[in-house]
């Protein structure tokens, strides 16, 4: 539970400091969903700190769908989702989950694994996969984050493909919370596919850390 408690503490600190921050992501493991303890503690911390559940994104990997307690997992995830927590499927495309889970599980966001991003734009196969995932996600009403963005060329291409969020070392490496204002003030520019103007794109926060 240390990561969850630290996430609430960090977010409260950033808001007190006036740091403009959106949702904070928390990576959850298979073990976190084996009982109600994780969800109960999360909701309890929300009540204690007055940091609302919609301030967070819980990231799960495809392997959690394959456990023996699938119904229990789905119910616990649904509790978080109903409370306002965004649910993201992390490292999408590298596991063994069926696409049918995108209909059965309350997933709000797909995170395309860095293995499909690292060879862009050279790999036509990876380009087709990324474009396909973005299309499927948007057709289902879900947003998409591309992980592992390391170059301006990759960032521009992904934005042209309609990717909603970008994450990677192109924007910043992992950092402590004290350096976040400096990072936000010095984000590299990314061309907008809409009007070709330069704008800043904020990378997602990985669980328990600040940065990308």
**Is 209 inside a domain boundary?**
no
What is the 3 state secondary structure string of 108-155?
Answer: CEEEECHHHCCCCCCCHHHHHHHHHHHHHHHHCCCEEEECCCCCHHHH
Q: Say which residues have a Cβ less than 8 Å from residue 145's Cβ, sequence separation at least 6.
A: 88, 109, 110, 111, 112, 163, 164, 165, 166, 167, 204
**Is 123 inside a domain boundary?**
yes
**Is 208 inside a domain boundary?**
no
Q: Is 42 helix (H, G, I), strand (E, B) or coil?
A: helix
What was the pLDDT predicted at 143?
Answer: 96
pLDDT tens over the chain, length 212 residues: 789 999 999 998 888 888 888 899 999 988 898 889 999 999 999 999 999 999 999 999 887 777 677 888 889 999 999 999 999 999 888 866 667 778 888 999 999 999 999 999 999 999 999 999 999 999 999 999 999 999 999 999 999 999 999 999 999 988 888 888 899 889 898 766 543 333 333 333 333 333 33
145 neighbors 88 (Cβ within 8 angstroms): yes
Q: Is 191 helix (H, G, I), strand (E, B) or coil?
A: strand
Q: How many CB atoms lie within 10 A of CB 8?
A: 20
Per the listing, tokens 């590298």 go with 94
**Is 211 inside a domain boundary?**
no
Stated pTM of the model: 0.85
Tally of structural domains, the chain: 1
Domain range for 128 is: 2-200
**Is 72 inside a domain boundary?**
yes
CATH of the domain at 85: 3.20.20.450
**Is 31 inside a domain boundary?**
yes
**Is 175 inside a domain boundary?**
yes
CA–CA distance, 197 with 174 (Å, rounded to integer): 27
């Amino acid at each position: 539970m240390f990561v969850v408690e630290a996430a609430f503490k960090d977010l409260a600190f950033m808001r007190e400091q006036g740091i403009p921050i959106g949702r904070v992501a928390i990576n959850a493991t298979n073990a976190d969903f084996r009982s109600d303890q994780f969800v109960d503690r999360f909701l309890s911390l929300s009540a204690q700190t007055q940091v609302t559940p919609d301030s967070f994104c819980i990231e799960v990997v495809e392997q959690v769908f394959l456990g023996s307690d699938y119904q229990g997992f789905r119910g616990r995830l649904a509790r978080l989702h109903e409370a306002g927590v965004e649910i993201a499927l992390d490292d999408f495309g590298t596991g063994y989950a069926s696409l049918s889970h995108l209909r059965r599980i309350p997933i709000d966001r797909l995170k395309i694994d860095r293995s499909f991003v690292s060879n862009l734009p050279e790999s036509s196969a990876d380009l087709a996969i990324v474009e396909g995932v973005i299309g499927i996600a948007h057709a289902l009403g879900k947003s998409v984050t591309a992980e592992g963005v390391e170059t301006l060329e990759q960032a521009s291409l992904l934005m042209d493909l309609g990717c909603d969020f970008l994450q990677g070392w192109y924007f910043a490496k992992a950092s402590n919370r004290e350096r976040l204002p400096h990072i936000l003030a010095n984000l590299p520019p990314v061309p907008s596919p809409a009007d070709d103007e330069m704008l800043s794109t904020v990378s997602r926060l990985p669980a328990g850390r600040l940065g990308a």
